[in-house]
Amino acid sequence: MSPFKLILAATAVAFALPAVAGDIVITDPYARVSTTMSKSGAAFMVIENHGAQADRLVSVSSDVADRTELHTHISDGNGVMQMVEVPEGFSIPMHGTHALQRGGDHVMFLGLKDAVADGDVLHLVLHFEHAGDVAVDVPVDLKRDGQGMANMPMGGMQMMHGAPDGTMPMHMPNN
């Protein structure tokens, strides 16, 4: 990353303000990739709904990847986690929050078009059923410790090869 881009990224992170549309407020966004050459990554944030009616995050878009999707993790009961797309999106309760977090619901970038490094900023747009579109600049933070699992890809999960049905099996370490 050039010194100019590094300064811009640091400034964006230091002065990051919540993204707002209608009653929806996006706070604490950040993104992670396993390595700078990874072809996939994820974004996390807290979605606050200050309105008197529930809303729904129905989709997400970004030009940084071939596909940008809403994902979650489900367990098969044998310790194997599968990362799956959630085409119906996520409900955001009235006067409530919904956290997109490591090991749970998140934004997934598939087919990243460029290398992603710590300090970069990824632009995405969240599409809500009632609030409309919310543009969010998401800083890449590869040092962030998620749930005590620092220095492990994607919050401590080890990705396994994707299944033919599009799911992504995951294995959670037992330590």
Q: How many CA atoms lie within 13 Å of 41's alpha carbon, on the beta-carbon side?
A: 32
Query: Rounded to whole angstroms, how far apart are CA atoms 31 and 139?
Result: 6
- Side chain identity at 126, as an amino acid letter? L
More confident site: 5 or 89: 89
Contact by Cβ (8 Å): 51, 22: yes
Banded model confidence at residue 2, pLDDT cuts 50, 70, 90: low
Query: Rounded to whole angstroms, how far apart are CA atoms 140 and 120?
Result: 5
Banded model confidence at residue 168, pLDDT cuts 50, 70, 90: very low
Banded model confidence at residue 146, pLDDT cuts 50, 70, 90: low
Percent of the chain with pLDDT over 90: 59
Mean of the per-residue pLDDT values for the chain?
A: 80
Q: What is the pLDDT of residue 17?
A: 59
Bridge pairing between strands 55-61 and 40-49: unpaired
Place of tokens 């200050």: 50
Best mean pLDDT range from 6-15, 29-38, 101-110: 101-110
108 pLDDT higher than 80: yes
Rg from Cα positions in the chain: 16
- The phi, psi pair for 13, rounded to 5°, reads -70, -45
DSSP H stretches of helix in 15-108: none
Q: What is the pLDDT of residue 97?
A: 97
DSSP H stretches of helix in the chain: 3-14
The model carries a pTM of: 0.74
